[in-house]
């Protein structure tokens, strides 16, 4: 379905830039000509009737062109990240064909179609001379035909499969465009600034995630420019457009802030969207002072799309993620599923046309969906005005000896020490069956552990001793949440063989 938007933009605004970077750019007319050539070269795949075709390509522009060509052929696609792909991911995604191109990709094998540079040169020879008469027409498909698949692992430790039909993908693109354009143009109207062009998009979330695919896809469908950059050039890339919509997770934002020059000042042409998790007030203040005054906080998941959003300047507390979007119902309920009174913290559940159940038959995944509601594993409250306030993860709330502790709060306290860059807290039973608390931290400097212990006791007097373990990085989901189960699995052997001896 997305490919039809590209063809439309190519015919009506072919000279507009679809993809841009420091080194190159590609117009919509050029992109459509390439997509049509690739679709024509790959049309034999339709005879194989594959259930799902995955793409692994080291060049992001060619990755998109191949994905769009598969859509033009009426085939369901999925994106694989560069580098090694786990057998678990492949077993859940179950692509019958994997298209591979570029360095750092999987080796050849059964069901893998390797396209080398010579193949692209042959297929695309003279493509710059193609016009609308050469465009490959879309293959007719039923609206319910599968179109896009992706893996989701942001709400629990398990990996799940999500699949959208052509009709569902079209609806999601319209919802993302609505949110993007309303937020941008309304903010412009509030600041009384002249709107000279649509904002370019620079998104830190790749197309292998459904959210990343939809965010970039909505920008392409709306006819704006999607920019690409590596971590070394992102600062320069952000200066390449008059207006830039930058999408970052809180973890990505912290990395950007650390990379900014000490004397950097806020840039008004950047419109930052922080997605996935809440944004601490301290980080927000640093962002508005040193990076950009235009910050929007967005709450959503791969399973639900965008749920709620709020401009940072309207936020009354750091727990707020704003009002639900018009098509979303959201509630806080107790353990029995009863709706909580306004302001009372419970378990968040979400219902909308954008909620897409997992495809696989998995009892763990099924527990996330009940009677049309999706339970993302977040704790929160709904205010008297309908605003959504998040209060951490349900899996971060633990009970030790009758006393309850929020591991997310423990992490926040640890991060008040400026020499700790990241922290992830988890529980693990020792050989006697006693639950112990561990904090994995990322730090290259010494600090006062005793002072931190005092802070922790001030918040949780009955908190068991916290053992700190230095690690190079903290595993996180695409939404920025600490992956506690993965962290526990990574450090279990070390704890049992080194710390418990």
Q: Which residue has the higher pLDDT, 190 or 105?
A: 105
Q: Do residues 107 and 254 both lie within one domain?
A: no
Q: How many CA atoms lie within 13 A of 270 on its CB side?
A: 26
Would 161 be classed as within a structural domain? no
For 274-289, what is the mean pLDDT? 83
Q: Do residues 327 and 196 both lie within one domain?
A: yes
Q: Do residues 35 and 176 both lie within one domain?
A: no
Q: Nearest CA to 373 among 342, 402, 404, 332?
A: 332
User: Strand 226-227 relative to strand 200-203: parallel, antiparallel, unpaired?
Assistant: parallel
Question: Residue 466: phi, psi to the nearest 5?
Answer: -105, 120
Q: How many CA atoms lie within 13 A of 39 on its CB side?
A: 26
Range of the domain at 433: 401-499
Tokens 């979400």 map to which residue? 350
Q: How far is CA 384 from CA 320, 343, 344, 346, in A?
A: 13, 7, 10, 15
Would 147 be classed as within a structural domain? no
Q: How far is CA 474 from CA 53, 425, 428, 489, in A?
A: 32, 10, 17, 12
Q: Give the Cα separation of 464 and 50 in Å (integer).
A: 54
The CATH code of the domain that includes 366 is 3.40.50.12780
The lowest-confidence range among 42-56, 172-186, 188-202, 238-252 is 188-202
297: left (phi over 0), alpha (psi -120 to 50) or beta: beta
Would 331 be classed as within a structural domain? yes
Q: Do residues 250 and 355 both lie within one domain?
A: yes
Q: Give the Cα separation of 88 and 157 in Å (integer).
A: 13
Inter-residue contact 247 to 275 (CB < 8 Å): yes
Lookup: tokens for 402? 């009758």
Q: So what's the pLDDT on residue 43?
A: 95
Q: Do residues 385 and 447 both lie within one domain?
A: no
Domain boundary among 370, 393, 416: 393
Res 235 pLDDT > 70: no
Q: Nearest CA to 438 among 366, 501, 491?
A: 491
Would 154 be classed as within a structural domain? no
Predicted confidence band at 360 (pLDDT cuts at 50, 70, 90)?
low
Lookup: tokens for 291? 């990076």
- Total number of domains in the chain: 3
Q: Give the Cα separation of 243 and 346 in Å (integer).
A: 39
As a whole-number percent, the residues of the chain with pLDDT over 90 amount to 49
Q: So what's the pLDDT on residue 449?
A: 87
Inter-residue contact 291 to 221 (CB < 8 Å): no
Q: How far is CA 357 from CA 53, 77, 285, 366, 370, in A?
A: 21, 18, 37, 8, 10
Q: Do residues 387 and 461 both lie within one domain?
A: no
Q: So what's the pLDDT on residue 292?
A: 92
Predicted confidence band at 195 (pLDDT cuts at 50, 70, 90)?
low
Q: Do residues 351 and 383 both lie within one domain?
A: yes
For 36-50, what is the mean pLDDT? 96
The answer for residues whose C-beta is within 8 angstroms of residue 303's C-beta and 6 or more apart is 152, 155, 162, 355, 356, 357, 358, 368, 374, 376
DSSP 277-315: S---HHHHHHHHHHT-SEEEEEEEETTTEEEEEEEGGG-
Q: Do residues 352 and 369 both lie within one domain?
A: yes
Q: Do residues 116 and 187 both lie within one domain?
A: no
The answer for residues whose C-beta is within 8 angstroms of residue 442's C-beta and 6 or more apart is 420, 421, 422, 423, 470, 471, 472, 473, 474
Q: Give the Cα separation of 291 and 240 in Å (integer).
A: 16
Domain boundary among 334, 365, 393: 393
Would 152 be classed as within a structural domain? no
Lookup: tokens for 358? 């997992």
Would 162 be classed as within a structural domain? no
Q: Do residues 349 and 410 both lie within one domain?
A: no
> pLDDT, tens digit, for every residue of 314-359?
888 888 999 999 999 999 999 899 999 999 999 999 999 999 989 8
Res 498 pLDDT > 80: no
- Extract the runs of DSSP E, i.e. beta strands, from 334-470: 346-351, 369-370, 373-374, 378-382, 388-393, 397-400, 403-406, 422-429, 435-442, 466-470
Q: Do residues 455 and 340 both lie within one domain?
A: no
Q: Which residue has the higher pLDDT, 363 or 226?
A: 226
> pLDDT, tens digit, for every residue of 104-155?
778 888 899 999 999 999 999 999 999 999 999 999 999 999 999 999 875 6
The CATH code of the domain that includes 425 is 3.30.300.30
> pLDDT, tens digit, for every residue of 57-93?
989 999 999 999 999 999 999 999 887 788 888 989 9
Calculate the CA 65 to chain-centre distance: 21
Would 427 be classed as within a structural domain? yes
Question: Residue 79: phi, psi to the nearest 5?
Answer: -110, 135
Q: Nearest CA to 78 among 218, 204, 207, 168?
A: 207
The answer for residues whose C-beta is within 8 angstroms of residue 410's C-beta and 6 or more apart is 425, 437, 439, 456, 459, 460, 463, 466
For 269-297, what is the mean pLDDT? 86
Q: Give the Cα separation of 159 and 150 in Å (integer).
A: 10
Q: Which residue has the higher pLDDT, 152 or 190?
A: 152
Tokens 């992109």 map to which residue? 31
Query: H/E element holding 409?
Result: helix 407-414
Q: Do residues 202 and 322 both lie within one domain?
A: yes
Res 286 pLDDT > 70: yes
CB-count burial class (<10 Å; 0-12, 13-18, 19+) for 67: buried
């Amino acid at each position: 379905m997305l490919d039809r938007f590209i063809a439309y933009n190519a015919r009506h605004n072919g000279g507009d830039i679809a993809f841009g970077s420091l080194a190159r750019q590609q117009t919509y007319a050029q992109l459509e000509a390439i997509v049509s050539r690739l679709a024509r070269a790959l049309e034999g795949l339709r005879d194989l009737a594959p259930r799902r075709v995955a793409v692994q390509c080291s060049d992001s522009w060619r990755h998109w062109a191949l994905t769009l060509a598969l859509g033009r052929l009426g085939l369901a696609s999925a994106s694989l990240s560069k580098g090694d792909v786990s057998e678990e991911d492949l077993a859940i995604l179950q692509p019958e064909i994997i298209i591979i191109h570029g360095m750092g990709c999987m080796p050849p094998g059964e069901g893998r179609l390797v396209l080398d540079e010579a193949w692209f040169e042959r297929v695309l020879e003279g493509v710059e001379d193609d016009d609308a008469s050469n465009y490959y027409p879309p293959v007719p498909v039923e609206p319910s035909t599968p179109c896009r698949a992706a893996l989701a692992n942001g709400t629990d430790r398990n990996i799940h499969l999500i699949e959208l039909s052509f009709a569902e993908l079209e609806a999601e693109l319209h919802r993302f465009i609505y949110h993007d354009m309303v937020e941008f143009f309304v903010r412009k109207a509030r600041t009384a600034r002249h709107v000279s062009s649509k904002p370019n998009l620079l998104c830190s979330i790749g197309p292998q995630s459904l959210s990343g695919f939809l965010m970039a896809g909505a920008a392409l469908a709306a006819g704006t420019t999607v920019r690409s950059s590596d971590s070394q050039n992102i600062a320069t890339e952000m200066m390449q457009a008059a207006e830039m919509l930058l999408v970052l997770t809180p973890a990505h934002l912290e990395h950007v802030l650390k990379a900014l020059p000490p004397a950097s000042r806020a840039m008004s042409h950047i419109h930052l969207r922080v997605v996935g998790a809440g944004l601490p007030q301290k980080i927000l203040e640093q962002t508005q002072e040193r990076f950009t005054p235009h910050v929007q906080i967005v709450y959503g998941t791969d399973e639900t799309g965008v749920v709620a959003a709020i401009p940072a300047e309207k936020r009354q507390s750091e727990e707020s993620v704003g009002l639900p979007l018009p098509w979303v119902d959201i509630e806080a309920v107790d353990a029995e599923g009863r709706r909580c009174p306004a302001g009372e913290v419970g378990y968040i559940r979400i219902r909308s046309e954008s909620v897409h159940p997992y495809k696989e038959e998995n009892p763990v995944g099924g527990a996330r969906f009940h009677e049309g509601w999706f339970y993302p594993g977040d704790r929160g409250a709904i205010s008297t005005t309908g605003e959504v306030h998040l209060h951490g993860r349900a899996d971060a709330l633990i009970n030790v000896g009758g006393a309850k502790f929020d591991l997310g709060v423990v992490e926040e306290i640890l991060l008040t020490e400026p020499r700790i860059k990241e922290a992830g807290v988890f529980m693990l039973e020792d050989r006697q069956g006693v639950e112990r608390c561990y904090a994995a931290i990322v730090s290259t400097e010494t600090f006062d552990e005793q002072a931190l212990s005092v802070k922790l006791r001030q918040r949780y007097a009955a908190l068991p001793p916290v053992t700190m373990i230095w690690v190079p990085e903290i595993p996180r989901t695409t939404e920025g949440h600490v992956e506690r189960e993965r962290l526990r699995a990574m450090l279990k052997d070390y704890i049992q063989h080194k710390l418990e001896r």
